[in-house]
Structure 1
Amino acid sequence: MAPGLLDLVHLTTWAACAVIKLPQLVAVLRAGSAWGLSVTSLLLELGGLLVFLRYQIYYDYPLETYLEYPIIIAQDAILLYCVMHFSGKAKRALFYAVVFLGVWYMLTLQKWIIDLSMNLCTFISAASKLVQLQHLWQTEDSGQASALTWGMGAYTCAILIRFIVMLILNIWVTVTILHYRKTRKTD
């Protein structure tokens, strides 16, 4: 990809992350309802984002490589509170905040904890999407779920398609090498 185009993609991805939850927040606040949104999905998403952020800080990565995460986390926390408020569960927000702060601290008690957590981060994030899908399928109603928010999320992940394609091709080459190595030994 040309350097100018890559810079543009990076900038637009960061810009999308900076406002990614705002359409969802506006939809919930306008409706005065959180119908269509899963608290469990939001909790998992927030947990995955916090693990990723903690990992980046722990290993002293440059701020520009993860700057969007504190912004998304703040938006997610506000959205989670709004969803809990409109679902009649606002009192639980303090409990979840204490749990997240405790986990934030515990993640770095031992190096292996933060490393293992980071390895599980993709599964946690994927689980949050699957839980939201399950919620939508069960209710058969999208309620206040914002297609714009989810679309921006898809856009911010699209840049990773290159890595997925390369992963698949690298696995394919590895399997092919092992296949031919195996058949060569039997001759």
Structure 2
Amino acid sequence: MMQSDTLLHVANVSTLLVCMVLKFPQIFILLRAKSTTGISIKSLVLELIGFIVFVTYQMYYEYPPPTYLEYPILIAQDVVLLLLILLYRGRLKDSLLYAVVFVVGWQLLTVDKRIIDLAMSLCTFISAASKFAQLQCLWRSKDAGQVSALTWTLATYTCSTRIYTTVATTGDMQVLMRFIAMTLLNLWVLLSVLFYRRHGGTPIKED
């Protein structure tokens, strides 16, 4: 029992620590290159929506904070990434619209239990769609461009540890299936990035 508690603690702490810097490699690459080649803005927006729904669901049902504490940190890092992408694409003025949509949507989630439950049931599909949007961007351009392989490696790790922590704590099947799907899709994106890093390609217009 003590060994199990220790493993759970290590999984929670390591996930939190990794998530604190998960998007930093991608942020640093963008700051250095001032280019968003290979990065899908649709993927990032969908990921943000998925994160917001997930953390709101966890807080609404008062799940143990260590099982979702990293999500506010990830949301903050994604917001920075989104601002950088908009900046380098000359669309920074769109940031106000994104902010209004996200804040209003966040508030609406907890208006009624049925809304948050429905949103959570769609959360896995939303998050999966974000990964497929990034994959589609890579497939179209055949160029990993400024996509950070390290960020996707860390994302794969954190989702895989959350499979264990979910089984060991809440046992919520919706949450568990989400983490299994996200682990596999993050790994798929990572392998695609590594493949196009090796083989290169000619980038096309960014989405």
Residue by residue, what CA displacement relative to the aligned partner does 1:46-95 show, whole Å, maximum 9, x if unpaired? 00000111112222334333211100000000111101111121111110
The count of residues paired between Structure 1 and Structure 2 equals 166
Match of 2:59 among 30, 39, 57: 57
Q: Which residue in the other structure is 2:26 paired with? A: 24
In the alignment, the residues of structure 1 paired with residue 82 and residue 23 of structure 2 have an alpha-carbon distance, to the nearest angstrom, of 11
Within 5 Å, which residues of 2 pair with 1:104-115?
Answer: 104-115=106-117
**Distance across 2 between alignment mates of 1:112 and 1:94:** 29
CA distance in 2, matches of 1:75, 1:161: 22
Q: What do residues 73-119 of structure 1 show as CA deviations (whole Å, max 9, x unaligned)?
A: 00000111101111121111110110011111111222111100011
Give the match for residue 42 of structure 2.
40
Measured in 1, the distance between the counterparts of 2:102 and 2:59 equals: 16
Equivalence for 2:97: 95
The equivalent residue for 1:172 is none
Give 1:70's match in structure 2, choosing from 69, 72, 84.
72
8 A Cα contact 2:18 2:154, kept in partner = yes
Residue 117 of structure 1 is matched in structure 2 by: 119
Task: Report the secondary structure of 1:91's partner residue.
Answer: helix
**What is the letter of the counterpart of residue 155 of structure 1?**
Y
Equivalent position amino acid for 1:57 in 2: M
* Displaced runs of 4 or more, over 3 A: 160-164
> Normalization by structure 1: what TM-score?
0.81
TM-score (norm 2): 0.74
Cα distance between partner residues in 1 of 2:152 and 2:106: 26
The corresponding residue for 1:10 is 12
Separation (CA, whole Å) in 2 of partners of 1:138 and 1:31 = 21
Deviation at 1:13, TM superposition (A): 1.6
Partner Cα separation in structure 1 for residue 163 and residue 70 of structure 2? 20
Q: Distance in 1 between matches of 2:11 and 2:57?
A: 24
Greater Cα offset, 80-89 or 56-65: 56-65
The code of the aligned residue for 1:56 comes to Q
CA gap 1:60/1:5 in 2 versus in 1, 3 angstroms: closer
Residue ranges of structure 1 left out of the alignment (5+ in a row): 168-187
2:152 maps to which residue? 150
Q: What secondary structure sits across from 1:10 in the alignment?
A: helix
- Secondary structure of residue in 1 paired with 2:52: helix
* Alignment CA distance shift 1:128-1:23 (3 Å): same
RMSD value, Cα: 2.1
Work out which of the two has the higher radius of gyration on C-alpha atoms and give 1 or 2: 1
Larger relative contact order, structure 1 or 2 (CA cutoff 8 Å, min sep 6)? 1
Change (3 A) 1:6 1:67: closer
